[in-house]
Structure 1
Amino acid sequence: MTSDSIAAQPIRRFVALGDSQTEGIGDPDGRGGHRGWADRLADRLAGGYPRLAYANLAVRGRRAAEIRAEQLAPALALEPDLATVVAGMNDVIRPRFDQETVVADIDAMFAALTAAGARVVTFTFPDIGGIAPIIRPLSARVRAINARMRELARRPGVTLVDFEPVAATIDPRVWAEDRLHLSPLGHDLVSRAVADTLGLPGTEGDWRLPLPPLRRDLPELVAAELRWVAFHMAPWIGRRLRGVSSGTGLTPKRPDLLPVVD
Structure 2
Amino acid sequence: MQLALNHLLVVGLADDALVRTVWQREASIKGSSIYAFGFGNLQGSIGYIESDRNPLLHVPSIPTIPYESELVTITGTDELGLELGVRAFLEKNLTNGIIAATGWKRGTATLLDRDPLPAAFDLPEGLPTTLSNLRLVGVTQASEDEYRGVLADTGLSPESIWRGKYYADGVWDGAGIKASFFDYAAGLHRRAYGNTVWYATFESSQAASSVAGKIAAAAKLMARGAGWSGNLPPFASGDTILGDVAIPGSLELACAGSTLVMTSRLAIANTP
TM-score range, shorter chain: under 0.3
Which is richer in strand? 2
TM-score, normalised on structure 2?
Answer: 0.24
Of structures 1 and 2, the larger Rg is shown by 2
Which is richer in helix? 1
